[in-house]
Structure 1
Amino acid sequence: MIVVANRVPVTKGCESEFEKRFDDRLSVVERMPGFIRNEILRPIVGDYYILMTHWESQETFEAWTQSEEFKQVHKNMAPKEMCPGPNGFEIHEVILVSERKP
């Protein structure tokens, strides 16, 4: 499994509008082969949101980035005033998972 993380700065006062941008997008990525989970982390301290997408493999993530669905959901990027950049982008392989046992 891999995790793709985007670190996105969001201007104060634009948080609600930024979050609404994902309402329709999530249903698109959820249908993609190899997709596992998406998390949007709102900052408690600071200005950066973290967008994390979990995929079965690097290949399934790359297939998503080459798909028409990806192009469609990314065609209307957030205005610079909302997300002044720079963004951080990282891909990590999951090597260990620890969860509380029921």
Structure 2
Amino acid sequence: MYIAMNRFRVVPGYEEAFEAIWRGRQGRLAELPGYVEFHMLKGPKAEDHTLYASHTVWETFEDFQAWTKSEQFRAAHAKAGENRGKVEYLTGPHFEGFEVIIHEDKNGIRADVAA
């Protein structure tokens, strides 16, 4: 299992616009093999930003890589330029990728995942 996250530091006053952009995006993830789930997370507010993170779960790192090279990825990001000026960020998105080594389900069943 692989988790891909992008962290966004949104300048105060632009949170509503940021959330509207994400709510309005057409989801194309489910069209790809290995896609498990997506979450847009809203984190704590600091004086100079509100933290957000997009969070996708994939069956494998290879499935995630295939997404980044797919037509669906290009289509999902094609309108990114149209949003310039609608939202102000402290910095660009910060990517973090994680290989899951231990997984525990809602029943408390735990499994080592790493090979």
Determine if the TM-score, normalized by the shorter chain, exceeds 0.5. yes
1:98 aligns with 2:101: no
Superposed CA deviations along residues 41-70 of structure 1, whole A, max 9, x for unmatched, are 102333221111100111111111111111
After TM superposition, the score normalised by the length of structure 1 is 0.83
Correspondences of 1:29-48 after superposition (within 5 Å)? 29-46=29-46, 47-48=50-51
Deviation beyond 4 Å, 4+ runs, structure 1: none
Match of 2:23 in 1: 23
Match of 1:4 in 2: 4
After TM superposition, the score normalised by the length of structure 2 is 0.75
Once residues 5 and 76 of structure 1 are traced to their aligned partners in structure 2, the CA distance between those partners, rounded to angstroms, is 20
Once residues 33 and 60 of structure 1 are traced to their aligned partners in structure 2, the CA distance between those partners, rounded to angstroms, is 7
Once residues 24 and 35 of structure 1 are traced to their aligned partners in structure 2, the CA distance between those partners, rounded to angstroms, is 20
Greater share of residues in strand: 2
Match of 2:113 in 1: none
Between structure 1 and structure 2, the one with the greater Rg is 2
Residues 26, 92 of structure 1: alpha-carbon distance in 2 compared, 3 angstrom cutoff:
farther
Once residues 89 and 97 of structure 1 are traced to their aligned partners in structure 2, the CA distance between those partners, rounded to angstroms, is 22
Match of 1:74 in 2: 77
Q: Name the Cα RMSD after superposition.
A: 2.1
Higher relative contact order (CA 8 A, sep 6+): 1
Unpaired stretches in structure 1, ≥5 consecutive residues: none
Unpaired stretches in structure 2, ≥5 consecutive residues: 109-115
